[in-house]
Amino acid sequence: MEKVYVVKVGGNIIDDDAKLHQFLYSFAKLKGKKILIHGGGKLATRIGEALSIPQQLVDGRRITDAETLKVVTMVYAGYINKNIVAILQSHGLSALGLSGADANIILAHKRENAAIDYGFAGDIDSVNSNAISSFLGNDFSLVLSPITHNGKGQLLNTNADTIASEIARALSKLYSISLVYSFEKSGVLLDVEDESSRIPQINPDYYQELKSENKIFAGMIPKLDNAFKALDQGVSEIIIGPAENLEELINGATGTKITAI
């Protein structure tokens, strides 16, 4: 099967102009079919506060009331998505920036009856892999913002890590998928304060051991849980590591590979 890279880029990269440009240059140079998934939470928080809309995060997830939904739709699907597309075009990449509502790419439903009311937070029901495959087949590189919809006219705010793993999973029936979580760290670290403590490879047994010894940074656990779930469901390879040089990351010179055995 043909290879497709599904690359999630972290918020700290989006928020730093120099790092974002370096990442996008690296993404544009990556050969083959590819999809970029971004958030942009820090800018959304700043714009929300400037508009006197108080922003509240619980466990790193945003409480999305109606006004905050407007803010994240403006920031993620508008400002950040279109700037990324324009920069990628300047590197000669035929980029196509979409939300989950466009071409009905991601259908979701509003999360109900959770212990915490996250407001207009969307949990994914389905990924339109036919539409994505048709765009990839026309040599477009996709840039996805984490705004989804419920099919009834309602936009929803969805976690970008989850979108990356759900897209990887759905496309794994059609392609050999490398799912890449790129961010500002060297990879999964044994000591979160020490960038040199990178773990080059983690399999399920080792992950259980690390978790039981509390050696995994809390913020990394949702990423790793998503990663192992995606591996179980057909994704070929999952890589977590620095965003500045995707070729080195994919080759294993940096970062952490998550493997099934």
Among 19, 38, 62, 149, binds its own copies (CB under 8 A): 149
Residues 100-119 touching its own copies, rule: CB under 8 A, are 101-104
Residue 165 token pair:
């793993």
Question: 246 and 30 in contact (C-beta within 8 Å)?
Answer: yes
Which region among 44-52, 59-67, 188-196, 223-231 touches its own copies (by CB under 8 A)?
44-52
Please name the residue that has the structure tokens 């690359």.
7
Residues 172-211 touching its own copies, rule: CB under 8 A, are none
User: Quick one: 34 or 149, whose CB is closer to its own copies?
Assistant: 149
Read out DSSP for 57-121?
EETTEE-B-HHHHHHHIIIIIIIIHHHHHHHHHHTT--EEEE-SSGGG-EEEEE--S-SS--BSB
Q: Which residues contact 13 (CB under 8 A, 6 or more apart)?
A: 19, 20, 23, 182, 183, 184, 243
Among 63, 78, 133, 215, binds its own copies (CB under 8 A): 78
Q: Does 25 bind its own copies (CB under 8 A)?
A: no
Which region among 108-116, 153-161, 163-171, 189-197 touches its own copies (by CB under 8 A)?
153-161
Q: Does 94 bind its own copies (CB under 8 A)?
A: yes
Provide the minimum distance between the beta carbon of 131 and its own copies in the complex, in angstroms, as a whole number.
Answer: 8
Please name the residue that has the structure tokens 């339109």.
128
Number of residues in contact with its own copies under rule CB under 8 A: 40
Q: Strands 155-157 and 147-149, how do they pair?
A: antiparallel
Quick one: which of 227, 246, 247 has its CA closest to 237? 227
Q: Does 51 bind its own copies (CB under 8 A)?
A: yes
Give the binding site for its own copies (CB under 8 A): 47, 50-52, 70, 73-79, 81-83, 85-87, 89-90, 94-99, 101-104, 134, 138, 140, 147, 149, 151-155
